[in-house]
Amino acid sequence: MNLGEFLFLLSGLKWTVALSAIAFVFGCAGGLAIALMRTSGIVPLERATAGYIALFQGTPLLMQLFVVYYGLALLGLHLNAWVAVSLGFTLHASAYLGEIWRGAIQAVPRGQTEASSALSLKYVSRMKDVVLPQALRISLPATIGFLVQLIKGTSLASIVGFTELARAGNMVSNQIFKPLLVFGVVGILYFLMCWPLSLYGAHLERRLAAAER
Amino acid sequence: MTRHDTAMSGTAAEAMIVMAEVEKWYGSFQALSGINLSVRRGEKIVLCGPSGSGKSTLIRCINHLEAYQKGEIRVGGTLLGDDGRTIDAVRREVGMVFQHFNLFPHMSVLRNCMLAPMRALGIGRKEAEATARDLLARVKIIEQADKYPAQLSGGQQQRVAIARALCMRPSVMLFDEPTSALDPEMVKEVLDTMVALAEEGMTMICVTHEMGFARQVADRVIFMAEGSIVEEAPPDIFFTQPRHARTRKFLGEILRSH
């Protein structure tokens, strides 16, 4: 593998990072909305978001990408590959983060909400000042765990022709006929992205456990 | 239920809280039945009774942490309904102290006391901090203002919780078993704080089994069982001449254990 081919892999890596970042940022926004609706106490909202989460947790990510990429095109909605893939991953991340944060919000002791209510704090302040800061702390390890899954999951975007790291590896491998070498390098690149995050997640988990003692 | 409508004039005997024929169910279980209770401004009530008798439920209905299904509750003239407006009006008048303190663990003691005045009353940061420091000094814990709740003892946390509730300048304070979760050696510091508050004329309803506290500050002691008020009397009569067999049995058990 020469330098040009390695640089081609790095350009794929760049798109993997970009796609992960977009999916995570928009997924955080969507996930927060879903978690809040899921815990709102308003039955139609809770049912609708429960259904959404069940749908996206119960079907393969690959299928979700196909539906967004090809399905919307069949409906006459022609999105470019970037938009389609970003949309697919955002919907996916929203469901998973929504469920993680739903659990974290419900793990904050009921007394916290009761004390806020008794102090006549309204919903927005109860959530923003009291519940969410504690819920986010509780959810940090799981959230980072999901981010790692998401980064690796972006390799599925290669199936719909999006040239991220996995597809770049595939293309180089087809050119130089050294699949073991090429995919070894690709694997190392994924590992270098994900491992520090995993370490950070484990570190946070330990710190959280220590703080609760 | 119009008989209470005229009771809200500004006399000294003004009824601060009026509960009339209040009923509450959890599904098919009736938690409160036919509760009638009127509390004057400045009056101190101690509520006692066996566990599950509905005493916590009763005071939690007053600030609508629990909804009630029948009857009516008035606090300072406001009829407590199911709408956010009346609930909010009532909660501004009523402070509450919980068994497990429920301080916000991610905020310093000072921030705990400043949050609600700033967010719910729209008071500025400087004024909220001055009020918080003043009240923390009154519960004798000002030197801990910058610590976090987890760094304090249970008794200290409960005194912070009292100061936090007082920062909203309530006209009534509800205490829901404020000393039940404390180690014995910390009970006194919390009770002393409550006695001082009582001496300043605060209207108080306390769910507690601290009968010494009841004797010392209560104007009336109310005994509840199975969701109803069984007996109420001034403490000297309540402890020496209880009328009902259930009250005598309860007093016998609780005084023996102390």
d(CA A182, CA A170): 8
Amino acid symbol at A147: L
Q: Could you give the ipTM of this predicted complex?
A: 0.89
Looking at the DSSP bridge assignments, the partners of residue B197 are none
Antiparallel, parallel or unpaired: β B70-75 and B44-48: unpaired
Q: Is A90 exposed, middle or buried (0-12, 13-18, 19+ CB in 10 A)?
A: buried
Q: A118, B63: Cβ pair inside 8 Å?
A: yes
- Spatial neighbors of A200 by CB under 8 A, at least 6 apart, are A144
Where chain B has pLDDT below 50, the residues are 1-12
Task: Answer whether B48's CB lies under 8 Å from B210's CB.
Answer: no
Provide the residue range defining the domain that includes A62: 3-212
Query: Which of A112, A117, A211 is closest, CB to CB, to B104?
Result: A112
Q: A117, B104: Cβ pair inside 8 Å?
A: no
Beta strand extents in B76-219 (DSSP E only): 78-79, 94-97, 172-176, 203-207
Task: Answer whether A8's CB lies under 8 Å from A172's CB.
Answer: yes
> SS3 for A35?
helix
Q: Which residues from A are below 8 Å from B93, CB to CB?
A: none
B115-129 per-residue burial string, b: 16 or more CB within 10 A, e: under 16: bbbbbbeebeeeebb
> SS3 for B152?
coil
Query: Which of A111, A119, A133 is closest, CB to CB, to B100?
Result: A111
d(CA A59, CA A62): 8
DSSP state, B200?
T
DSSP state, A189?
H
Q: Which residues from A are below 8 Å from B95, CB to CB?
A: 118
User: Domain count of chain A?
Assistant: 1
Provide φ and ψ at A100, rounded to 5°: -60, -45
d(CA A129, CA A113): 11
State the pLDDT at residue B13: 59
DSSP state, A200?
H
d(CA B16, CA B29): 29
State the pLDDT at residue A36: 97
Q: Which residues from B are below 8 Å from A115, CB to CB?
A: 96, 98, 102-104, 161
Query: Which of B100, B116, B150 is closest, CB to CB, to A119?
Result: B116
- Spatial neighbors of B106 by CB under 8 A, at least 6 apart, are A133, A134, A137, B148
State the pLDDT at residue A71: 86
Mean pLDDT per 10-residue segment, chain A (213 residues)? 90 94 96 96 96 96 90 84 91 97 96 96 95 93 94 90 90 92 94 94 81 56
d(CA B50, CA B63): 22
> Domain of A178: which CATH number?
1.10.3720.10
The minimum CA-CA distance between B181 and chain A, rounded to whole Å, is 14
State the pLDDT at residue B235: 95
Sign of CA dihedral B121, B126, B129, B134: negative
Query: Which of A115, A120, A121 is closest, CB to CB, to B98?
Result: A115
Provide φ and ψ at A80, rounded to 5°: -75, 165
- Spatial neighbors of B175 by CB under 8 A, at least 6 apart, are B59, B96, B97, B194, B204, B205, B206, B207, B208
- Spatial neighbors of B81 by CB under 8 A, at least 6 apart, are B87
State the pLDDT at residue B12: 46
